[in-house]
Amino acid sequence: MLCSFFLTQFSDMWITVQGRPLRKTGEQSPLHEGDKIALGRFLASSEGRVFEPFLQFVFSLAGSVLQDAEDENRELPIGSKTWSTHDDQPVTMMAVPSEASEHRASISRHLVVEDRPLFFL
């Protein structure tokens, strides 16, 4: 299942994604495989204020059925074909076995997607 992932700042802590700070409540950053997320604080030093992380995470989809919709290096499923349209936009068509289609349809009937954060830091 292709998805787009974002980290939203809802905390009073300093959070960075790939070294870019999220400063304001509600500010978002897209997340991609391997992105580093850090929680920390700014400390005074001879060089001015320096961000000092005290907790770091790496965003990973390993072992997940979810895939990054913007990952150009992801492997396409067997039976898929990619070509370019007249405006050079890639298009992917996937051939899905009928039993998989029925299974996906039964899942989609029970899947509820909510527009809210999965967790808070």
Q: What is the DSSP letter of 12?
A: S
Q: Does the pTM of the predicted model rise above 0.75? A: no
pLDDT 10s per residue in the chain (121 long)? 888 999 999 988 889 999 999 989 999 999 999 999 999 988 888 888 888 889 999 999 888 888 888 866 555 554 444 444 445 554 444 444 444 444 443 333 333 334 444 444 4
CA angle, 26 as apex, 20 and 31 as ends, to 5°?
45
Euclidean distance between CA atoms 29 and 64, whole angstroms: 21
Look at the chain and count its residues. 121
Domain borders along the chain are 1-74, 76-111
